[in-house]
Chains A and B, each alone.
Chain A
Amino acid sequence: MLVFLTRRIVAGLVLIVVVSAVTFSLVYSDGERIARLILGPNADQAAVVQRAQELGLNEPLLVQFFVWFGNLLHGDLGRSFSNHRPVIETLVNRVPVTLALVGLTLLVTLIFAVIIGLLSAYKGGWVDSGLRTFGVFGFATPHFLLAIGLVVLFAITLGILPATGYIPPAKSPSGWIQSLILPVTALAIGTIASASQQVRGAVLDVMKQDYIRTLRSRGVPLRAIYLRHALKNASAPGLTTLGLQFVALLGGAVVIEQIFALPGIGSLVIVSALKSDIPIIMGTVLFLVVVVVIVNIVVDLAIAWANPKSRV
C-alpha cells in the first residue's frame, strides 16, 4: 500500500513538472510578442524590447523556466503583468471561491448521482426511462446555457436568488449559500446526469454477476444486495468517473464563474487571458494540476478500498 502511494505521489509530481514545463514553453515562447501584447499594438519597438528586458523575457526559455521553477520552490509565482501584485496573493484570494463552488458541486453530484443511479437500476420501468431521459438532456445541455436559463428563471423572472456576485461565508453564511445555489445547480446538473448514468450502468453490470445470484440463494434481500454489494462493487468504476468528473468540473467552473461574476480563479484566468497576463495563467495552471493530482490520488485510495484486487 505504501509502495503504491509513493508511486502515485511520484507520478503526480512528474505530471506537475511536465505540465508546467509544457505550458511554460508554450506561453513564454515569444517574449517580444508578450511585451507587445502588454503595451498594446501602438507601442514602438524600442519600448517593447525594453519591457521584454525588464520582465526577463529575452532570456532563453530554459533559463526562464528554471528561474520560475526555482522561485516556485520558495513559494513565489512571480508578479502579475497588469497589477504587479504577487500571483500567489491573487490566487490565495481567489482559490477559496472556486474550491467552494467545485467542492459543493462534487458533494451534490455524489449524493444525487448515487441516489438517482441506484433508483434507476433498482426500480426500472418508467422511473428508469424517465431518469435516463433526464440524463441525456442534462448531459447534452452545456453548463453555460443551463446557467443562463437559471438566471433568467430564478433571478430575473422570479427574483428569489441573486443573479450574480459572491458573498464570503465569513460575512454572511446564509448569503454565501444563496450566492452559490444557482452556480452549483448549473454546474451540477450535467455532472449528475452523466454520473448517475455511470452509477446505473455500473450497478446493473454488478447485478448481472454470478455472485449476486448466489447471494440471493442465501436469502439476502434484494435491497441489501443493492445497497451493500452492488454499491461497493460499482464504486470502483464510479470513483474513476468521479475523478474525471472533477477535472471536468474545474473546466466548467471557469464558465460558471464568468456568468455569475464569482471572483474565483476561473474568471481570473479568462480576464488574464484577454490581458495576456501570463504569470497569472501559469500560476492558475499549476494550481489546477496540483489539485487534480491530489484528487486523483484520493480517488485511487478510495478505489483500493472498494476493490481489494487493486491493492497490490
Chain B
Amino acid sequence: MSGEPAALGTPELPTFIRQGTFRRLAKMPTVWIATVILFTALFFSFFGALLAPFDPNFTDLNMVNMAPFASDFLLGGDRAGRDIFSRLLVATSNTIGGAAIAVSISVAIGASIGLMAGYYGRVFDALGAWLSNLIQALPGIIVLIAVYVVAGPSTVTSMIVVGILIAPVYFRLMRNVVISVRNELYVDAARVSGLSDIRIMSRHIFVVVRAPIIIEMAYIAGIALVIQATLEFIGLGSPENPTWGGMLQDSFNALYISPFAILWPALSIILTVLAFVFLSNAVRDTLGDPRSSGGKARKAIVSTPDSRATADAGSTHAFLTVRDLSVAYPLSKNESRTVVNKVNLEVNRGEVLGLVGESGSGKTQTAFAILGLLPPEAIVDSGRIVLGSTPLLGLTEKKLNALRGSEIAYVPQEPMSNLDPAFTVGQQFGYAMRKKLGLSKAQSRERALSLLARVNINDPERVYDYYPHQLSGGMAQRVLIAIAVSCDPELLIADEPTTALDVTVQAEVLDLLRGLQQERSMALILVTHNFGVVADICDRVAVMKDGEIVETGDTRKIVKHPEHPYTQLLLSSVLDNVPMRAPLEPQAEVRA
C-alpha cells in the first residue's frame, strides 16, 4: 500500500451515527488496544523529546550496533552509536505530525471540493472529477520523488503533497454522499421550506457526511504514515531529524551485523498503522449493518424438519398444502420475532389463490417459505409444506433446486431488479431450460422465442438479445413471467407481480397471468395488497394480518360478505368505496 491511498477507500459507508455506537465500540478489545496504541503514540509525539534519556544525535562509539537490553541504551545502539530508544521517541512527533498534516490537507481540499461538486454539480463536478482522476492516475511515490528533486528533503512539503494525493479519496466520498443526500426528498422539502443553501448544507448534509469523514480519517492517517516511512526508507526523507522510516533505512543497511535494530522502528510503524486501520474498521463495522460482518448461517434453519409430513402427505387432496407454518427472525440470543404464525393454506391445481395483506402481514414471507428462499437468518419454527407428495421443509438445497423451476416457479414484484443486468434475456432463459428440460442450445432458444411471443412481446428475436436495461418495466415483467413458466411449473408463486407497474400495464400483465394459468391449469398463488387484483384473478382469498391468516374463502364471498373485522376494515378502506368528492360549492370559499 506504499503508493496509493484509494485501494480501500471506497466501500459503502454508514450515513449516520446510531445511538449506542460508542457503547458497542467500547466492548471490542481491538478498539481498546488500538486506542491505547494511538494515545501512546500521541503522548510521545508531544512529550517524546522531553522523556528521551539521551539526545537523539548523541553518539557513543562504544555503543555502535549495541544489542538491546544490554546497556544504558535500552533498545541498543544504531550503527553510528546513537540510542535507538531515544531516537524512536523523538521520531514519534515527526511521524504523527506528518500524518496529521496529510490528513488535514486531504480533508480540507478533498471534502470542500467534493461538497461543491456534489451540491452544485455541473462545472464543479466535471472539474473535480477530472482533477481527481488526474491525481489518481499517477503513482504517488513518483510524484513525491519529483517534488523531492525540486524542493529537497522536507517532511512538511512531502506531507502536504501526500495530502493532495490522498484528497481524491475524500473528494469521491464527499461527492457521492452529497449527491445521494441532495436527491433525498427531505432536502427538496428543506428548499421548499425556504432554507438557504448554506443552511441546507450545514443542517442536512453535514450531519450525514461527518461520520464517514471521521472514519476515513483513521485510514488516511495510516496511509500517510506508511507513505512517509517509505519515503524516508528509500532515502528521500529529511536527514536532520530522526524518523521511523529513516531509522529503518539505517538498520536495514546494518541488517547483517545487528539484526535486532530493525525490529523497533518496524514495530512502531506496523503497530501504529494497524491501530489506525483496526480502529477505522471497527467503527465502520459498528455503524454499518450489525449483521453484515458475520454472514455465518448460510442455510435457513429448520428446527423441526418434519418427518410426519411424508406420512400424511396423501391425506389432503390439495396440490400444495401448508400446515402450521411459522417463520421467525432472531432479535437477540433469546428473543425472536415471529412474522408468520401457524399459517395453513391449500391450493389446488388450476386454482388461483390470493394472499392478501398490508405491509408486514407476513404474506411475502409465507411465499418465500414455500419457495425455500427465506434469508439465512430466518427460523422456520414449525409446520410443514407439502407439494404433490413431496414435503418441502427440510429438503436439501440440491433437492429443492431439482423442484424449483420445474415444479414451483416464482414471479417477483420489482421487474427491473430481478433480471441479472450482466446477461441478455436469452442467457437468463438458458440455464434452467438446458438443465431441467435437457434441451440443446438451439432448442432452448427456439422455446424461449416462442415463450416470448406467448407473453406478447413484439419482435422476440430482438428482445432475446436485449440486456435488461433495454427493457421497459412491463416488458421486463413479461420476460420474468416467460422464464418462470419456461420449465412448465405446476405451481406459480407471484409476489405482487403488478405493484411496480402502471395501471394499464398491470391490467395486461394480469390478463397474461390468467391466460397462462388457464391454458396450463397451473396452481397460482398471487401475493397482493390490492383487492382489485384479487377480484380480477383470484378464485379464493386468504387474508393475512400480523403473520396470521384471519379469514379465507371464496373470493366473491369474502369481498361481498367479509366476516372478520379486519377484512371488513380493509374492504371499507378501499378508496373505490369511498364517496366521490363533491364539486366545490361557492360557499366553501369563505376564506376568499
Give A1-28 as 1s and 0s: 1 = Cβ < 8 Å from B's Cβ atoms.
0000000000000010011000100110
Q: Does A94 contact B (CB under 8 A)?
A: no
Tell me whether A210 and B469 are in contact (CB under 8 A).
no
Across-interface contacts of B294 in A (CB, < 8 A): 124
Does B166 reach chain A (CB closer than 8 Å)? no
Given contacts A19-B138, A142-B230, A152-B255, contact A29 B150 (CB under 8 A): yes
Q: Is A15 within 8 A of B414, CB to CB? A: no
**Min distance, Cβ A308 to any Cβ of chain B, angstroms:** 4
- Interface pair B422/A19, CB less than 8 Å apart: no
B378-406 residues at the A interface, CB under 8 angstroms: 397-398, 400-406
Task: Give the residues in chain B near A137, CB-CB below 8 Å.
Answer: 274
Taking chain A's interface residues, is the majority helix, strand, or loop, or is none over half, making it mixed?
helix
**Binary CB contact string for chain B from 398 to 442 against chain A (1 if under 8 A, 0 otherwise):** 101111111011101010011111111000000110011000000
For A269, the closest partner residue in chain B by CB is: B145
Q: Does B259 contact A (CB under 8 A)?
A: yes
Q: For the complex, is B296 an interface residue (Cβ under 8 Å from A)? A: yes
Chain A neighbourhood of B134, CB < 8 A: 15, 18-19
Whether the pair B436, A270 counts as a contact (CB closer than 8 A) is no
Contact B421 A309 (CB under 8 A): yes
CB of A55 within 8 Å of the partner chain: no
Q: A219 near B406 (CB under 8 angstroms)? A: yes
Flag if B422 contacts A254 (CB, 8 Å).
no
Q: Which residues of B contact A274 (CB under 8 A)?
A: 235-236
Q: Is the CB of A285 within 8 A of B412?
A: no
Of the candidate stretches B3-11, B185-193, B322-330, the one touching chain A is B3-11
| Chain B residues with a Cβ closer than 8 Å to the other chain, count | 86
CB of B147 within 8 A of chain A? yes
Contact A148 B252 (CB under 8 A): yes
B295 at the interface (CB under 8 A from A): yes
Contact among A216, A222, A248, A254 for B1, CB-based, below 8 A: A248
Q: Which residues of A contact B7 (CB under 8 A)?
A: 139, 191, 194-195, 241, 244-245, 248
Q: Is A213 in contact with chain B by the CB < 8 A criterion?
A: yes
Question: Which of B66-74, B87-95, B265-273 forms part of the interface with chain A?
Answer: B265-273
A273 to B420, CA, bound (A): 51
State in angstroms the CA–CA spacing of A270 and B11 once bound together: 33
Q: Are A221 and B398 in contact (CB under 8 A)?
A: yes
Contacts of B270 in A (CB 8 A): 140-142, 145
Residue of A nearest to B298 (CB): A124
Q: Which B residues between 139 and 165 are near A, CB-CB below 8 angstroms?
A: 139-142, 145-150
Residue A307, interface by CB 8 Å: yes
A299 to chain B minimum Cβ distance, whole angstroms, is 12
In the bound complex, do residue B145 and residue A219 qualify as a contact, i.e. CB atoms below 8 Å apart?
A: no
Please determine whether A139 and B142 come into contact, CB atoms closer than 8 angstroms.
no
Measured CB to CB, the closest approach of chain B to A4, in angstroms, equals 16
Over the window 117-136 of chain A, the binary record of Cβ atoms lying under 8 Å from chain B Cβ atoms (1 yes, 0 no) is: 00001001100100000001
- A sample of 23 inter-chain contacts (CB < 8 A) reads A19-B137, A26-B147, A27-B146, A27-B150, A136-B277, A139-B7, A140-B274, A142-B226, A143-B1, A152-B255, A156-B259, A190-B2, A191-B7, A195-B7, A210-B417, A214-B412, A216-B404, A218-B410, A218-B484, A244-B136, A247-B136, A255-B2, A269-B142
**Shortest Cβ-Cβ A-B pairs, 4 listed:** A251-B3, A248-B4, A219-B404, A217-B410
Known: A216-B373, A218-B409, A220-B432; 4 extra A-B contacts, CB below 8 A, are A124-B295, A219-B406, A250-B139, A306-B422
